[in-house]
Amino acid sequence: MIAYGKQLISQEDVAAVERALLSDFLTCGPEVEAFETEIAARTGAKHAIAACNATAALHLAVMAGGVKRGERVLTSPNTFLASANCVAYAGAIPDFVDINTASGNMDPKELECRWKPDTTAVIAVDFAGQAANMPEIAAIARRNGALVIEDAAHSVGGALFHEGAFHQIGGHPWADITIFSFHPVKTLTTGEGGMLLTSNDEIAARARRLRTHGMERNAGLFQGFGVESGPLAEVGPWVYEMQDLGYNYRITDLQCALGRAQLGRLDSFLDRRRSIVAEYNAAFDGLPWLRTPRLEREEERESTSWHLYSTWMDFEWLGRSRTAVMAELRDKEVGSQVLYIPVYLQPWYRRTYGYKPGYCPRAEALYAGALSLPLYPGMTDRDVKTVIEAVLQLATNRVC
Ligand SMILES: *Cc1c(COP(=O)(O)O)cnc(C)c1O
């Protein structure tokens, strides 16, 4: 079976994890710091803070970014639940901005329309690996004094093109905080894992504290326990202070050892993804019933990380349901996946915030025809051919 997405693990990865496993540190050790340093260097972010998954990193971003209970945070409906759930964790209100149909990313014009006086942050999502229009989104947010978070779970290793230059995702100036995911279907894996990137020193310090129970160990920043003298006031080397209510969102050294080994091959992973995308496009361009992924900025063809090959299919034209089409593909060993159900349609979101179908019509229209085809660096040429043949066969079996 050819899955829609999958990790690529080498002997190098296995050896790196084995070394970490036999070292003195399984967690809180040098692999975590080294992974953070290497991701910071690659992206150009001043700070990189690794977390146990991207959902935790998003929660840290919302908290460290200062989003308060009752405030409104605008995100894309065309995303995984985590981009909006992190807002609800903080007691704030997740709200949704309709998308650009071509890219599946938040449309800046719609962002302007959905803005309300209580909006204090935006979480843009780089759908399928293509960067959202961060310069325009940041301009709108900053004009309103709002925080900008980029959920770059799909775009690890990618770059955004703006005014004649490429800017690494995670290091460019149009996001205050960027989040990466290292789940196995993403472009680089640690099993479970995520990273928060920022160039803001205060946000970084808060995120680090919140990752470990809100504990501060730097004596220079202590606030004291309310006792002036005696043993309770002694500031010995054992003292830590809990200054905020944090969590245990740490990642292990085993995972970061894997991440570092993977990072060394990230460019080769991305090259393979791009060449598969080019092969698919050549085979599928011009079909009346299948829309290949579109770029908002053509310059990004070689800088987009292509987490997904997300097509839009006209199931009505094909004369059968998406379920039937997926079953036909599965019969030929071709996996596929539907990404995404607009988040606000989820029962919990409708019940909690009163959202109704029709709130973001373009996201709903995209969902109606969405089908992601297999895309991962371990695909063989034979696999790619199998997928292309199975997809082209769908039209031959058209039911009129
Ligand atoms: C995968 C994903 C996440 C969450 O990542 P985890 O590491 O699984 O928590 C968040 N946002 C988007 C857009 C994702 O695709």
Q: How far is CA 255 from its chain centroid?
A: 18
Around ligand 1, the residues with Cβ closer than 6 Å are 53-55, 79-80, 82-83, 125, 151, 153-154, 181, 183, 194
CB atoms within 10 A of CB 340: 22
Rounded CA-CA distance 60/135 in Å is: 23
Which pLDDT value is given to residue 400?
78
Query: What spacing in Å lies between the alpha carbon of 329 and ligand 1's midpoint?
Result: 26
Query: What spacing in Å lies between the alpha carbon of 78 and ligand 1's midpoint?
Result: 12
Rounded CA-CA distance 248/53 in Å is: 11
- For a mutational test of ligand 1's pocket, the pick from 79, 87, 150, 181, i.e. the residue with the most ligand atoms closer than 8 A to its C-beta, is 181
Query: What spacing in Å lies between the alpha carbon of 195 and ligand 1's midpoint?
Result: 11
Task: For residue 9, give the H/E element and its range.
Answer: none
- For a mutational test of ligand 1's pocket, the pick from 80, 85, 308, i.e. the residue with the most ligand atoms closer than 8 A to its C-beta, is 80
Q: pLDDT tens track of the chain, all 400 residues?
A: 999 999 999 999 999 999 999 999 999 999 999 999 999 999 999 999 999 999 999 999 999 999 999 999 999 999 999 999 999 999 999 999 999 998 999 999 999 999 999 999 999 999 999 999 999 999 999 999 999 999 999 999 999 999 999 999 999 999 999 999 999 999 999 999 999 999 999 999 999 999 999 999 999 999 999 999 999 999 999 999 999 999 999 999 999 999 999 999 999 999 999 999 999 999 999 999 999 999 999 999 999 999 999 999 999 999 999 999 999 999 999 999 999 999 999 999 999 999 999 999 999 999 999 999 999 999 999 999 999 999 999 999 887 7
- For a mutational test of ligand 1's pocket, the pick from 83, 195, 306, 340, i.e. the residue with the most ligand atoms closer than 8 A to its C-beta, is 83
Which pLDDT value is given to residue 52?
98
Rounded CA-CA distance 322/326 in Å is: 6
Query: What spacing in Å lies between the alpha carbon of 67 and ligand 1's midpoint?
Result: 20
Residue partners of 286: CB distance under 8 A and separation at least 6? none
- For a mutational test of ligand 1's pocket, the pick from 151, 177, 179, 341, i.e. the residue with the most ligand atoms closer than 8 A to its C-beta, is 151
Query: What spacing in Å lies between the alpha carbon of 54 and ligand 1's midpoint?
Result: 5
Q: Which atom of ligand 1 is found nearest the CA of 182?
A: 7
360 secondary structure, DSSP code: S
Query: What spacing in Å lies between the alpha carbon of 56 and ligand 1's midpoint?
Result: 10
Which pLDDT value is given to residue 242?
97
- For 321, phi and psi rounded to 5 degrees? -75, 165
Question: Exposure string (b/e) for 33-54, b if CB count within 10 Å is 16 or more?
Answer: eebbebbbebbebebbbbbbbb
Of the CA atoms within 13 Å of residue 101, those in its CB half-sphere come to 10
Query: What spacing in Å lies between the alpha carbon of 163 and ligand 1's midpoint?
Result: 29
Residue partners of 334: CB distance under 8 A and separation at least 6? 2, 373, 374, 386, 387, 390, 391
Query: What spacing in Å lies between the alpha carbon of 147 and ligand 1's midpoint?
Result: 20
Alpha helix (H) ranges present in 115-252? Answer: 134-143, 201-211
Q: Which atom of ligand 1 is found nearest the CA of 58?
A: 10
Which pLDDT value is given to residue 99?
98
Residue partners of 51: CB distance under 8 A and separation at least 6? 57, 60, 193, 194, 195, 196, 211, 249, 250, 251
